Amino acid sequence: MDKKRLDCLLVHAPKFDNWYKPLGDYIWINYLPMGMFALADNLDRHGYSAQIVHLGIEWIEDHAFDLIAYIGKTRPAVCALSLHWHYQAYDVIKVAEAIKAAYPDIFICAGGFTASYYHQEILEDFPCLDAVIQGDAEEPLLRLVEQVTKQERALHKVPNLTWRSDGRIVENEAFYCATEADLNALRFTNLPLLKNYKTYVDYFGHPFMWKKSFSKEANFQKLSIGSKTFPLAIGRGCPMTCTWCAGSVLSQRFITRRTKPIYRSMDKILESIQEALSYGYETMYVVFDPYPDNHDFFIELFAKIRENNIQCEMVFECHGLPTKPFMDAFHATFPHEESFLCISPDTGSERLRRLHKHCSYSNEELLGCLRYLQELGVNSEVFFTYGIPGETPDDLQETIRLKRFIKRRFKNVRCIRVLSIEIEPGSPWHMDPQKYGITHDRTHFRDFYRAHSSKYNQTYSSLGYFIPDYFPPGNGVTDIRGFEQALQKIKCRHFCFVNPNARRSGPAWTGRLFCNVLAMMDRFKRKDAGEEESHPLYGGT
């Protein structure tokens, strides 16, 4: 084999075409799954050449970037496509089709939660893909590249692999699920394996959208929290089951076959923080909070950060209410205003919270937590949703009242965001819609593929489900599209949080005003530009 060939090219295809009134045209799913760096580094450490290409970054750097031409230069033996989030369904398949049409000899596989959930269907319906890796992919991808680069392939030896063999779809029996020792052997911070990684570090922040008409600087300054934010790998798994979440323990049992959370060692986490800071990151973003009632692990981790005099900020998504010892430790470790906690009561109705949220709590407990954070001087963001099964007009009013009270009472709550929930493959209410009284149109992978082929089916207004008895009889809402439109009106009237400063939110009426101004400016820009954009698959429009 030609040693100049790349053994494995890992490709991240975001949902490239999206449109939403305040944003105009934007790119969605811009953060890489945090395991992609570990996948590439694991190959590299075992002697296989690997590189990550992020098609969003490549478009940002060069609108005429041509992935197919780039593959022609590197000629990888394996192309591994991330299909973690369902939003990527259409773009990933289009990428795979373009690669297979140009280079039929290249072995193309996909992996991630969505690919894992639909591994059989994807191979049945889309011959552009040769295989799907289910669940944890570090060991399977290594073994796959090892076999593909041999003269005699033995793909049946690759764990977690579903693949096509002589027209048949074969699911290998051997299955790999990473242990804590396996996680500790991985490196999640080998950023130079990503092409144009400096753009990723310097300009991709939280939140995660990228407005196409803005410059890199404008996107970072106007649409992010203004801090270079690194998703920090703490562990994997979740012991909870929240109705809308495909990361729940119920979902993970068949997606990854993981039955309980596992943690990386504190030394390895500290190593990741220090390496991320060396690349220019400023803020660590943590979304792993499997035991909200017991934060001993994080309290000890924060103490070690202080002992090692590591200076950074942190954004921490709380899956329940943070305990007082945790809040004290967080404040002592990250005292600056750029650090904050994300708290998600989801609804103002305690009854609904008990129904949908595994780690539930009362409104008084929530307000007590926010009072204590205010006393400490710790900032927070609060997240609600609406349009969920079992919600009544009275429940909705409870959410509106609670949101207004929090905004008026707590100055340290810098932003309150109210976001609708899009149906996720493998979530409890996706798998058993009748139990939750919903109807959805995304049973199969092709349904997600179809939905995300439209730029107007995007995360802020497209749900993919309908609650038949949500609105009173005779209101004219009879299908999913009508349900989505009716909920959007509720959002605009009561919950709009659009703000010139992405770190803040104001009253809904100011959000509506700013939304209209942004939409008018976007129309003028599009009219003046008078040009079509290129798609990063092959450089054409």
- Asked if pLDDT for residue 518 goes beyond 80, the answer is no
174 and 239 in a single domain? The answer is no
pLDDT tens digits, 114-172: 999 999 999 999 999 999 999 999 999 999 999 999 988 999 999 999 999 988 999 99
pLDDT of residue 283 exceeding 50 = yes
Does the pTM exceed 0.85? yes
| Digit-coded pLDDT (tens) for 58-97 | 999 999 999 999 999 999 999 999 999 999 999 999 999 9
Q: Is residue 1 part of a domain?
A: no
Listed as own residue / partner, the contacts of 445-450 with beta carbons closer than 8 Å and 24 or more positions apart are 445/89, 445/114, 445/118, 445/121, 445/122, 445/125, 446/121, 446/125, 448/86, 448/89, 448/114, 449/89, 449/90, 449/93, 450/90
- Reported confidence tier of residue 527, pLDDT bands at 50, 70, 90: low
pLDDT band at residue 528 under the 50/70/90 scheme: low
Any domain includes 396: yes
Domain that residue 174 falls in: 8-180
User: Average model confidence (pLDDT) for the chain?
Assistant: 93
**In which band, very low, low, confident or very high, does the pLDDT at 538 lie, cut at 50, 70 and 90?**
low
Q: How far is it, in rounded angstroms, from Cα 496 to Cα 483?
A: 18
For residue 246, give Cα distances in angstroms to 256, 281, 439, 486, 508.
11, 29, 17, 26, 30
Verify that 243 and 351 share a domain, yes or no.
yes
**What is the pLDDT at residue 246?**
94
Task: Write out pLDDT tens, residues 219-244.
Answer: 898 888 889 999 999 999 999 999 99
397 and 299 both lie in a single domain: yes
Lowest mean pLDDT among 88-102, 202-216, 301-315, 508-522: 508-522
* Residue 22 pLDDT class (50, 70, 90 cuts): confident
Whether 203 is covered by a domain: the verdict is no
- Helix-, strand-, coil-residue percentages of the chain, each rounded to 5: 40, 15, 45
Least confident range of 106-110, 298-302, 457-461: 457-461
Q: Alpha-carbon distance 95 to 538, whole Å?
A: 9
As for how many domains the chain has, the answer is 2
* Confidence label for 205 from pLDDT (cuts 50, 70 and 90): confident
In a domain, 508, yes or no: no
State whether 155 and 239 are in the same domain.
Answer: no
Q: Is 85 strand, coil or helix? A: coil
362, 242: one domain: yes
Which of 380, 411, 440 is the last residue before a domain boundary? 440
CA nearest to 281, candidates 14, 37, 62: 37
d(CA 419, CA 385): 5
Q: What pLDDT, on the 0 to 100 scale, is given for residue 539?
A: 54
Q: Per the domain annotation, does 204 fall within a domain?
A: no
One domain, residues 302 and 374? yes
- For residue 281, what is the domain's CATH number? 3.20.20.70
